[in-house]
Structure 1
Amino acid sequence: MFYPRFFSLSCKSLALLGFAITQVNNVQAQTLQDNTWHGGIAIGGSLASSNTSSQTFNVVANATKASKEDKLGLYSLINYGSNKVNNIKTNTAQLLRLGGRYDYNLSENSFFFGGGELETNKIQNIDSRYAINAGAGFKLIKTDETNFDLFTGIGFSETQFGATIPPSPTSKRGFEFLLGEESTHKISATSSIKQRWTVYPGTGDIGTRSTLDINLATVVANGWTLNAGAALSYTSKPSNNFKSTNSLITFGFGYKY
């Protein structure tokens, strides 16, 4: 079953994130409504060279601009990896995900939203995927320590695959529902964690997909941060019998503004 496996991966990811917590400066969970961009970027990677060579590179970034009337949020995830053996180079990761959402406040605790996402993941045979959606949400918790939102809506997505083996299709498109939640938690004087879990039950042959993103930032000095993250994804109908679940754990150094 997908959900027990997905929650098991989530718990393991949260446990790994806990090791990165230290305490130096102050952070907050509440979104500032000052009509100014706030967010953070974290960069991580590795380079190894011997009889074989390998390299990895990842970037996690987010930005939010909010006022009393509305909010615009943007996010991105980049993960690249390669390995070279006997002068033969093999890519081990090629993931790029860009997305955003605009919220218009209908009341103090409810909002209407419209959003979209672009993704490519060559290792999973996804040449390109785009998704657009719209719906409504509710601000369930809004305190200095925790923000927690629930949202639902409907959208449309199209996925173009790379090399396919019949009867696997070369592309899938269709309407999909949207169910999700996101939150920001102040877990210490210096550390905050953001997470977003979204499920997309689709129509026709596009199946159901889901994404879970978790990011922990700990301020060490003057906005500079230590970061850890987890990105988990699931699709019920992968191309060419690829695995249904994918996971990525990242650690890096960043800046919070």
Structure 2
Amino acid sequence: MKNKELYIKNVFLSREIPNDNYLKNLPVISNLKKIKELELTKPVTFIVGENGVGKSTLIEGIAVAMGFNAEGGSINFCFSTKESHSNLHEYITVGRGCRKHKDGFFLRAESFYNVASNIDYLDKDGGGPPIISSYGGISLHEQSHGESFMALVENRFFGNGLYILDEPEAALSPMRLMELMCYIKKLVDEKSQFIISTHSPILMTFPDAEVLEITNEGIKSIDYKETEHFFITKRFMDAPEQMIDNLLK
């Protein structure tokens, strides 16, 4: 998938955010103000950074601006369990590529339960082919969190799609994360684009992905080995006893 074929090419602030809006204080917002645009150049983009910098808020804003339900799901999902999402989508513009995606999904780890519940509710109501058939045929509530997430990826992601994932590692073991990477590769080969917020050093190793790190100072593209996530994890795994001893003194 060439750069010009990406479904989302860039994101930028297009309206001033009021001072009384909490978004104003997020590092991601102040950083977006400093740059003309946040450019996406690869089929797989990882957005990383410490808790509180606004990764999930940015991911959510992009998804809602592209027409996805704020709590997750495909374009066709329109349920609302709790109005907890921000209104960032009202202040950003998402630059679209020349091609339109044929499939898409927004995954929020914290509200995937609500997506599963909505599928069960709609199927119970009847009136059409079972929706769960597109998710492997077994209720997502009858599987573990990790199994249900992989059922989603294996059965519902069709290719030629835009897939926006917020911290997918929350559901997955290290082995399952590596399995997810295999599916991402398959879907990228089928002209899909992924935008993923993550804390996982394993996911960040995906070949030829771009890693965008958000800090209090700015947003920059870096090698995954330069991220604090990778550095701290490697340091810990190289000498776990020493790290634990230092931490618990």
TM range (shorter): under 0.3
Question: What TM-score, normalized to structure 1?
Answer: 0.25
Report which of the two has the higher share of helix.
Answer: 2
The structure whose RCO (Cα within 8 Å, separation 6+) is larger is 2
